[in-house]
Amino acid sequence: MSQTGTLMGFVHRRRRGAELFLLVLALAVGIGAYAAVGLGLEGQVPADIVGYGGWLTALIVAAHVTVRIVAPYADPVLLPLVAALNGFGLAILRRLDITYEALGDPHTFARQQLVWMTVGVVLFIVTLVLMRDHRVLQRFTYTAGLAGIVLLILPFLPLIGREINGARIWINVAGFSFQPGEVAKVMLVIAFSGYLVLHRDALALAGRRVVFVDLPRGRDLGPIMAMFGISMMILVLQNDLGSSLLFFGLFLAMLYVATERPGWLVVGAALFGAGALAAYTFVDNVQNRFNFWLHPLDYYDDSPGSFQLVEALFGQGWGGLIGRGFGDGFPERVPFAYSDFIISTIGEELGLTAVMAIVLCYGLIVERALRIALISRDGFGKLMAVGLGAIFALQVFVVIGGVTGLIPLTGLTTPFLSYGGSSLVANWVVIALLLRISDQARRPAPRLDPVDDSAADSEHTQVVKLR
> Which of the residue ranges 42-51, 185-194, 198-207, 342-351 would you say has the lowest mean pLDDT?
198-207
H helix count then E strand count, the chain: 15, 5
pLDDT of residue 459: 45
Mean pLDDT over the full length of the chain: 85
Q: Exposure pattern of 407-431 as b/e (b: 16+ CB <10 Å)?
A: bbbbbbbbbbbbbbbbbbbbbbbbb
Tell me what the mean pLDDT of segment 53-82 comes to. 95
- The answer to whether residue 385 scores a pLDDT higher than 80 is yes
pLDDT > 90: what percent of the chain? 44
Paired strand residues for 178: 171
Q: Greater confidence, 210 or 302? A: 302
Cis peptide before 304 (omega within 30 of 0): yes
- The answer to whether residue 15 scores a pLDDT higher than 80 is no
Handedness of CA 420, 127, 171, 362 (dihedral sign): positive
Q: Could you tell me where the beta strands, DSSP code E, fall in 102-194?
A: 161-164, 167-173, 176-178
Cβ–Cβ contacts within 10 Å for residue 357, how many?
14
Q: Give CA–CA dist 164/168, Å, rounded.
A: 6
Q: Greater confidence, 211 or 191? A: 191
Torsion of CA 297, 301, 305, 306, to 10 degrees: 40
Angle 15-186-420 from CA coordinates, rounded to 5°: 90
- The answer to whether residue 452 scores a pLDDT higher than 90 is no
- DSSP helix/strand/coil, 433: helix
> Which of the residue ranges 78-92, 98-112, 376-390 would you say has the lowest mean pLDDT?
98-112
pLDDT of residue 5: 46
pLDDT band at 138 (very low <50, low <70, confident <90, very high): very high
- DSSP helix/strand/coil, 162: strand
Helix axes 49-70, 109-130, angle to 10 degrees: 10
pLDDT of residue 228: 73
| Per-residue model confidence as pLDDT tens digits over 230-267 | 777 776 676 777 778 888 888 888 888 888 878 778 88
Q: Exposure pattern of 192-205 as b/e (b: 16+ CB <10 Å)?
A: bbbbbbeebeebbe
pLDDT of residue 105: 84
Q: Give CA–CA dist 386/381, Å, rounded.
A: 9
- Tell me which residue of 2, 3, 1, 12 sits closest to 444, measured CA to CA: 12
- The answer to whether residue 316 scores a pLDDT higher than 60 is yes
Using CB atoms within 10 Å of the CB of residue 282, give its burial: 0 to 12 exposed, 13 to 18 middle, 19+ buried: exposed
Q: Exposure pattern of 432-451 as b/e (b: 16+ CB <10 Å)?
A: bbbbbbbbbbbeeeeeeeee
pLDDT of residue 460: 47
pLDDT of residue 446: 65
Name the pTM for this structure: 0.89
Rama region for 260: left / alpha / beta (φ>0; ψ in -120 to 50; rest): left
Paired strand residues for 161: 171
> Which of the residue ranges 41-45, 357-361, 388-392, 442-446 would you say has the lowest mean pLDDT?
442-446
Of the ranges 12-21, 144-153, 378-387, which is most confident?
Answer: 378-387
